[in-house]
A = this chain, B = another copy of it.
Amino acid sequence: MNYTLNNLPERTVKPREIGLSMIMDKGLSIRQVEDMLETAGVHIDMVKMGWATSYVTPNLKEKIEVYQSAGIPVYFGGTLFEAFLVRGQFDDYRRVLDKYNLSLAEVSDGSIELPHEEKCKYVSTLAQQVTVLSEVGSKDVEKIIPPYQWIELMQAELDAGAWKVIGEARESGSVGLFRSSGEVRSGLVQEILTKIPYEKIIWEAPQKAQQAWFIKLIGSNVNLGNIASNDIIPLETLRLGLRGDTFNHFLDV
């Protein structure tokens, strides 16, 4: 650290099971990745190549290697899994994971209809090849899943072999866990937490107010995802109570 501040909340260090920050890469250049690693590499637990952006970025292989050399696992957004699945190309998808030496993969059904039992089978199958992140929640604003069902889905996907479950929010933070205004569905989150340990959940929370809300509810070491590449340092200050939004929260405790 550059200087010493007393009585800061304690942060976990990498590699860790809680306090994870998952970053969204939606088309960074190699230099932009290097810049991000220089300033914030120590705070990045994993990087998601957002949805199917990996299909149209020419620097994919080299970029993945830059991340991996820095010890940061990379995975493809769940929409890519769905794009392969809906085309009957699941086996191709598994080969693509190997081609890029990926150790993580996401299973989701945000844009497709997939019987839940089948989804869980994909979790199990992929779990034999990689570590699986399994996402719950639709990208469709009109599909409201009641809390008890979020819990059932999450539990079943963990039972099927998912390392963590992800609560859907999109890049914009306006569906799934959130109202279209970006406001947290706080009752939903609190009910989920009565049954699923917070250690097993990564909350997609791209907006600052959303991040602050989860930090105040769960603590500095909540797992957060879909963090924009230039919001990693700001997020770290929120976790430490060093930004206005969480400043007084950590002084009170």
A236: nearest chain-B partner, CB-CB: B56
At the interface, yes or no: A233 with Cβ under 8 Å from chain B?
yes
Contact status of A237 and B55, CB under 8 A, knowing A6-B87, A27-B40, A242-B83:
yes
Interface segment out of the listed A151-159, A183-191, A243-251: A243-251
Interface segment out of the listed A46-54, A125-133, A198-206: A46-54
> Would you call A86 and B30 a contact (CB within 8 A)?
no
A183 to chain B, nearest CB (A): 13
Secondary structure type dominating chain A contacts = helix
> Would you call B111 and A244 a contact (CB within 8 A)?
yes
Residues of chain B within 8 A (CB-CB) of A242 are: 51-52, 55-56, 79-80, 83
Contact with A39, one of B27, B84, B172 (Cβ below 8 angstroms): B27
Residues of chain B within 8 A (CB-CB) of A4 are: 92
A221 to chain B, nearest CB (A): 15
Chain A 202-253 interface residues, beta-carbon cutoff 8 Å to B: 208, 230, 232-234, 236-237, 240, 242-244, 247-248, 251
> Would you call A53 and B234 a contact (CB within 8 A)?
yes
> Would you call B99 and A3 a contact (CB within 8 A)?
yes
> Would you call B234 and A27 a contact (CB within 8 A)?
yes
Closest 4 CB pairs of A and B: A27-B233, A52-B242, A29-B35, A139-B244
- Show 7 residue pairs from A and B whose CB-CB distance is below 8 angstroms, ordered by the A residue: A3-B55, A4-B92, A5-B52, A5-B89, A6-B87, A27-B232, A38-B58
- Give residues in A with beta carbon < 8 Å to B: 1-7, 26-32, 34-36, 38-40, 42-43, 50-61, 79-80, 82-84, 86-87, 89, 92, 96, 99, 110-112, 139, 170, 172, 208, 230, 232-234, 236-237, 240, 242-244, 247-248, 251
